[in-house]
Structure formats: structure tokens, C-alpha cells
Amino acid sequence: MSDQSIVTLRKYFRGLLAGVAWLMLICVIIQVLLAGIALFVQIGKWDYHESFIHYFTLVPLLMLFLSLLAKVPKGIKWHCLGLFLMIMLQYITVSLSDAAPYLTALHPVLALVLFWESLVIAQGATKLLKSPVNKR
């Protein structure tokens, strides 16, 4: 494979990573909106909030895979992994509601971290679209 082909592929994967990262951020915002609806509009109806997460739980792993193919800086790769781990922590905090309610109270705080982490990745991946791609 020629150097130019490698550069083109990496640019493609960087673009794909940026798109998926922005999509992830939108999913986090929608998830928080669904929680707000369950709290203030359809009180106690958590069905949508509980089921929507399953559509994007594994997206950070896809982002990590794309970041490896795109040869992005290690920081973005770590953020992708951290994002996945934060989602796993969300599942854990909900499952502890009876045993450790104060840990469960961290659930909305972790949502803020998910938002921040998603934004950092999306902005970083978008910024990389303007930078030169290393062929190595």
C-alpha cells in the first residue's frame, strides 16, 4: 500500500471518528433529556432513559478502534477508553441503589463527566481533521 493510500485511509478514519464522537455527545445529551422527562414530565416513567443507553453503550469502543486506525494521539485513545469505563460505572451506580444509595447519587455527576469526556473527544477529533497525517 502506498504512502498516499495510508494517509488517505487515516484521514477517512479521523473523519469517521469525529463524526461518531459528535454522535456520542448527542446521545449523552438525549440521555440526560430523557432523565429530565422522567423527573419532570412523565414522572417515574424511566423506560426510555433505561433503554436508550443500550443503543450507545459500545460506541466508545468503536471510537477507540477508529482512533487506533486513525493514528490519533494517545490522549484521545485514553479518553475513548475512559468514556467506556464511565458508562460501565453508570451501570454499576444504578445497580447499587438499594445497597449503597449515596454511591447511586453519583449517577448524575457521572453524566456530567460523560458529557465532558464526549465533548473533549469530539473537539479533539475535529481539530485533527485540520492537521497533517503521519504516514508511519
pLDDT digits (tens, 9 = 90+) for 46-89: 999 999 999 999 999 999 999 999 999 999 999 999 999 999 99
Instruction: Provide the whole-model pTM.
Output: 0.92
Question: Could you tell me the residue ranges of all domains in the chain?
Answer: 3-128
Q: Give the CA distances from residue 43 to residues 35, 39, 46, 103, 106, in Å, rounded to whole numbers and listed in that order.
A: 10, 5, 8, 23, 21
pLDDT for 99-135, tens place per residue? 999 999 999 999 999 999 999 999 999 999 998 887 6
Please, are residues 76 and 56 in contact by the beta-carbon 8 Å criterion? no
pLDDT at 100: 92
